[in-house]
Structure formats: structure tokens, C-alpha cells
Amino acid sequence: MKKTIATILFSMILAGNISAFTELDNLLIAEATTPDLKKIAKEYFNKKAKDHKELADKYKSLSSQSHGGKATADVADKEKYKKLADHADKEAAAYKAQADKF
């Protein structure tokens, strides 16, 4: 029951956050006009890309582990972690691409 509720809440969060960039990120992109601000923005987006890449690696390692329990629940957990890893990889690529624009 707890896993079901957690999965539903997590799905709602992901559905609400379709874009990789938050309002703060978009504001930073728009306001980065001087070389110093562009440098700060580039460092910020590189850091975000690194964080998301580390998160994706964590999810990939979790997807390859057996967590015990019933086989169907274990397969569902593995699929969940694979999807999370793919999502984090996509966000890392988006942040890296944005950093490369500066």
C-alpha cells in the first residue's frame, strides 16, 4: 500500500515537472547577459548536470539489485528505477546542453 501511494505521488510530481528547467533556471538563462553572469550560469548548469548524472547512476545501480520480496514486485521496482535513471539521464543531458550554450 505504501509503495502504491509513493508511486502515485512520484508520478504526479514527474507529470507536473515536464520541462527539465525550472522557473529559476529559465530566469537565469534570460538574465545571463554579461560574461560574468554567463560564467556563473555555465557553472550552475554544469553542476546540475553532474548532480543528475550521479542520480542516474544511483538509480541504475538500484535497478540491477534484487530487493527481495515477490518476483512481480521486484520486477516492478527494477522497471521503476530504470525509468528514473532514464529520466535523470535526459535531464542531465539537457542541463549539459544548456551549459554548453554559454
Residue 4 and residue 12 in contact, taking contact as beta carbons nearer than 8 Å: no
Nearest-10 Cα torsion for 76, 78, 80, 82: -150
Nearest to 97 by CA among 18, 17, 29: 29
Domain count along the chain: 1
- Round to whole Å and give the CA distance between 102 and 95: 11
Residue 68, domain extent: 2-101
- Chain centroid to Cα 62, Å, comes to 15
Higher pLDDT, residue 1 or 61: 61
pLDDT digits (tens, 9 = 90+) for 28-78: 888 888 999 999 999 999 999 999 999 999 999 988 887 777 777 778 888
Q: Name the 3-class secondary structure at 33.
A: coil
